[in-house]
A and B are shown apart, each in its own frame.
Chain A
Amino acid sequence: MALDSKIPEGPLADKWTSHKFKSKLVNPANKRKYDIIVVGTGLAGASAAASFGELGYNVKSFCFQDSPRRAHSIAAQGGINAAKNYQNDGDSVFRLFYDTIKGGDYRGREANIHRLAEVSVNIIDQCVAQGVPFARDYGGLLDNRSFGGAQVSRTFYARGQTGQQLLLGAYSALSRQVATGKVKLYARTEMLDVVIIDGQARGIVTRNLITGEIESHSAHAVVLATGGYGNVFFLSTNAMGSNVTAAWRAHKKGAFFGNPCYTQIHPTCIPVSGDHQSKLTLMSESLRNDGRIWVPKEAVKGLKAADAAKIAEEDRDYYLERKYPAFGNLVPRDVASRNAKQMCDAGKGVGATGLAVFLDFSDAIKRDGLETIKGKYGNLFDMYQQITGDNPYEMPMMIYPAVHYTMGGLWVDYNLMTSVPGLYAAGEANFSDHGANRLGASALMQGLADGYFVLPYTIGDYLANMPYDKIPTDHEAFQTAEKEVKDRIQKLLSINGTKTVDDFHKELGHIMWEHCGMARNAEGLKLAKEKIKALREEFWKNVKVLGDNEEMNMSLEKANRVADFIELGELMVDDAFNRRESCGGHFREESQTPEGEALRIDDEFSYVAAWEYQGEGQDAKLHKEELEFENVKLTQRSYK
């Protein structure tokens, strides 16, 4: 099957407008004849489901949490970008487009990214109209800040809870449609398979997480807005339930997986404190505006934050300031992360585990005064103290990079349709707009762009060609899919081995972090592949899943998800092995400049790697979507 990205003809800035005009429309009176399934109620899913309902389609909306309002988008802190240029500081749609494509290290699609920048301005209007309480200045107009090293102030925010407020906005729009009866909600319901009939996605199979009931749902189109898969690493900043199952089952039914190895590692997270650790907490990137990052020049074993002051100034290595004098502590996320890892690998890490570096505010407190620092970062400092027991006003924080976001995801064309007709992917679940590295405050923008402003147009174009007839769920294809789901659950429950699901998940995470994390090389990746294969075999022989299907069973829920993570892990390793260049968040050790910086190889790797499933135990097949750059010139990033 050939990949067709369906990018419209014409000049970059006109593509979306002309595409919308050329898209077919569904007559208002006919919209009620179509059913759409939306899996996921994060920014992407809730905004899509609400907008479809408003247009008149019948929508079924699914999430595994107890309420749509709890989707992982709720946890986003920093903000959302939009090219409003309210600050008159030189922002524009083209500049946001340019920053995004450059930030993604030239591994994203021009047309998609330009569309994202175009609709970014509508998002802010929409959210304000819903009553999202964005921060305002004293004149009552919207406030902005500069985020993640951007040279313009284009980030809108609501205290440190931007994701929460945007999601509650989308949730309110969704709730309004639930009240009108256009959207039916299925909370605590997990999608376990997608059903394809005559080559088109026509429904899903779900498990009710309270009763265990396996059910089928039929529709004319299916949208997956199921978030990212960072939890393949076990430890990440994602919510505990974030998983790849929906995307992975779709992949196994024919949807290509794009750039699976593209993961974003965030430099400022609270380090791991012990084996019991269940997740990692992100500390806002803004801390790097005032904090100075350092390690001792000579390794000091187990150096505590409380003893940091004993290290004399001349014995400290402010390594980012030393190596990148122009940007210092504000180098991009990937550079900051990689350097922290290098320091720790060289034995200079601090803290009990040696896997941490200091982020020190003592100079900032001296310069600006305690009150100023408190005003800027009070909440974050309190949170840090709550978690670690250390007081960052008195001693440096300890930080370490952690998995944060996955740029990879289901491959989609310009219409956000996967390689399976009628199956769409939106938000973090698709691969589309961030290339090999996502800029801060751009995921929220993309989720809402997809749901409010892209899918409502593109799905209409598809449905306009669909007959109205509904497929009953006793159709053979639904029955087969249900049986597969039930058989798999029975198998998981019957193994009754000796290791818990978490044991396997931790082991997988360890392999992925070690060999397919911030830095990779061919040898490590080969080893990882073997280890994952062995882990998978062991899982299906020796996992212990308790209880029955017909009850609330969190051990079974996790087992279902971890089984998919293990398979995904193998594909990520294949993808990382294939991409023999350093780009974006990934450092491929074989591909570096003489100074040890990341080296992209444009003539060989300017493509999207889209992987096609080939069957149990078979290697996936690689398809390449060549990326064409007509509006930007490719340059190597340099922060010296």
Chain B
Amino acid sequence: MNLKLKIWRQKNANDKGAFESYDVSDVSPDMSFLEMLDVLNEDLSRDGKDPVHFDHDCREGICGMCSLYINGKPHGPKDAVTTCQLHMRSFKDGDIIVIEPWRASAFPVHKDLVVDRSSFDRIIQAGGYVNVNTGGVPDANEIAIPKTIADQAMDAAQCIGCGACVAACKNASAMLFTAAKVSQLALLPQGQTERHTRVERMVAQMEEEGFGNCTNTGACSAVCPKEIGQEHIARLNREYIGAKAASDNV
């Protein structure tokens, strides 16, 4: 099939950036979306033009590195998959595809479609862990955890930190990402001791990074490739209120 691509090009963080159009031909339905961009980039390179920069690594939907806003939707038209798992059979001959970077003030553009998501790392650094050192921990089977709780914790822990939730949100809120970690650790017995300080610190960091407020539109869960649900945001809110009521931490 033949396609027309309109891609956001921006030389660096200071450049204003603009869309450019490209025609790609002979696209096979078996190609992944990123392989289609590889083909475009090989053509551009051969012509001596700067290839389109985009983030990617595992190409299996798990590292969370890929991040394109495709025709107005983070990770493209299919539900519950990342951009790297999207295949060209989801498009048809003659389609126009608009490709943009994640847009959020807490995710500034480095180049073209590549953005800076280090704000996510700093949210985790603010408290997304259990305070244990290597060694000196109890036997793994000393703490029994009911299967249903372990399963719910795992649902939350599946977050790949891609940032699609932020890109989809009209407020550019990082609530779903933050909630996924808070929820995982709040559910598990290992996370209880620092339950209150954790949620307070992580939410404070989220605000400091310039992410917007959550107004419960649910747009985040709708695009989340790992289908992290709204119940985790509800749990974060409960944790947060509980923490505020219980302590004068932070």
A404 to chain B, nearest CB (A): 13
Q: Which residues of B contact A137 (CB under 8 A)?
A: 147
Q: Which of B106-145 contact A (CB under 8 A)?
A: 110-111, 114, 116-118, 120-121, 124-126, 128-135, 137-141, 143-145
A30 on the interface (CB 8 Å rule)?
no
State whether A165 and B45 are in contact (beta carbons under 8 Å apart), knowing that A133-B184, A276-B38 are contacts in the complex. Answer: no
- The proximity string for A residues 528-548 relative to B, scoring 1 for CB distances below 8 Å and 0 otherwise, is 000000000000000010110
Q: Which of B38, B135, B191 contacts A122 (CB 8 A)?
A: B135
- Closest B residue to A165 using CB positions: B157
B1 to chain A, nearest CB (A): 13
A380 on the interface (CB 8 Å rule)?
no
- Closest A residue to B189 using CB positions: A131
Known: A185-B121, A278-B35, A452-B134. 17 other contacts (CB 8 A): A66-B117, A67-B120, A72-B63, A84-B140, A131-B130, A131-B188, A139-B144, A165-B154, A172-B128, A175-B129, A178-B125, A240-B59, A274-B30, A387-B85, A546-B50, A551-B11, A555-B45
Q: Which of A128, A141, A453 contacts B190 (CB 8 A)?
A: A128
Please, how many angstroms separate the alpha-carbon atoms of A128 and B132 in the complex? 11
Q: Which residues of B contact A274 (CB under 8 A)?
A: 28, 30-31
Query: By the criterion CB–CB under 8 Å, are A276 and B87 in contact?
Result: no
Please, how many angstroms separate the alpha-carbon atoms of A286 and B16 in the complex? 50
Please, how many angstroms separate the alpha-carbon atoms of A163 and B160 in the complex? 12
Q: Which of B35, B45, B135, B146 contacts A500 (CB 8 A)?
A: B45
A136 on the interface (CB 8 Å rule)?
yes
- The proximity string for A residues 176-214 relative to B, scoring 1 for CB distances below 8 Å and 0 otherwise, is 101100000101000000000000000000000010000
Q: Which residues of A contact B38 (CB under 8 A)?
A: 276, 278, 502
Q: Which residues of A contact B161 (CB under 8 A)?
A: 67, 69-70
Q: Which residues of A contact B154 (CB under 8 A)?
A: 133, 135, 158-159, 165
Query: By the criterion CB–CB under 8 Å, are B57 and A65 in contact?
Result: yes
- Closest A residue to B63 using CB positions: A70
- Closest B residue to A156 using CB positions: B140
Q: Which residues of A contact B58 (CB under 8 A)?
A: 70, 72, 74-75, 239-240
Query: By the criterion CB–CB under 8 Å, are A72 and B31 in contact?
Result: no
A554 on the interface (CB 8 Å rule)?
yes
State whether A128 and B143 are in contact (beta carbons under 8 Å apart), knowing that A67-B121, A552-B111 are contacts in the complex. Answer: yes
Please, how many angstroms separate the alpha-carbon atoms of A392 and B56 in the complex? 28
Please, how many angstroms separate the alpha-carbon atoms of A176 and B194 in the complex? 13
State whether A130 and B144 are in contact (beta carbons under 8 Å apart), knowing that A273-B30, A552-B114 are contacts in the complex. Answer: no
Can you spell out 14 A-B residue pairs with CB atoms less than 8 angstroms apart? A67-B117, A67-B118, A74-B62, A84-B140, A86-B141, A131-B188, A140-B146, A164-B158, A178-B125, A276-B35, A281-B59, A502-B42, A544-B48, A546-B45
B150 on the interface (CB 8 Å rule)?
yes
A583 on the interface (CB 8 Å rule)?
no
Task: Determine which residue in B30, B42, B48, B81 has the highest number of CB atoms from chain A within 10 A of its CB, and name it.
Answer: B30
A125 to chain B, nearest CB (A): 5
Q: Which of B32, B89, B129, B147 contacts A278 (CB 8 A)?
A: B32
State whether A128 and B59 are in contact (beta carbons under 8 Å apart), knowing that A140-B147, A276-B39 are contacts in the complex. Answer: no
A8 to chain B, nearest CB (A): 21
A243 to chain B, nearest CB (A): 11
Please, how many angstroms separate the alpha-carbon atoms of A555 and B44 in the complex? 11
- The proximity string for A residues 353-392 relative to B, scoring 1 for CB distances below 8 Å and 0 otherwise, is 0000000000000000000000000000001001111000
Please, how many angstroms separate the alpha-carbon atoms of A2 and B120 in the complex? 48
Please, how many angstroms separate the alpha-carbon atoms of A385 and B40 in the complex? 25
**A: interface residue count bin:** 35 or more
Interface residues of B (CB under 8 A from A): 11-12, 28-32, 34-36, 38-39, 42, 45-46, 48-51, 53, 55-60, 62-65, 81, 85, 87, 89, 110-111, 114, 116-118, 120-121, 124-126, 128-135, 137-141, 143-147, 150, 153-154, 157-158, 160-161, 184-185, 188, 190-191
Please, how many angstroms separate the alpha-carbon atoms of A50 and B124 in the complex? 14
State whether A386 and B144 are in contact (beta carbons under 8 Å apart), knowing that A69-B161, A131-B191, A175-B121 are contacts in the complex. Answer: no
Please, how many angstroms separate the alpha-carbon atoms of A130 and B117 in the complex? 24
A138 on the interface (CB 8 Å rule)?
yes
Query: By the criterion CB–CB under 8 Å, are A126 and B134 in contact?
Result: yes
A93 on the interface (CB 8 Å rule)?
no
Q: Which residues of B contact A552 (CB under 8 A)?
A: 12, 53, 110-111, 114
Task: Determine which residue in A50, A129, A547 has the highest number of CB atoms from chain B within 10 A of its CB, and name it.
Answer: A129
Query: By the criterion CB–CB under 8 Å, are B137 and A129 in contact?
Result: yes
- Closest A residue to B45 using CB positions: A500
Query: By the criterion CB–CB under 8 Å, are A65 and B157 in contact?
Result: no
Q: Which of A237-251 contact B (CB under 8 A)?
A: 239-241
Q: Which residues of B contact A210 (CB under 8 A)?
A: 110
Please, how many angstroms separate the alpha-carbon atoms of A376 and B32 in the complex? 26
- Closest A residue to B190 using CB positions: A131
B215 to chain A, nearest CB (A): 27
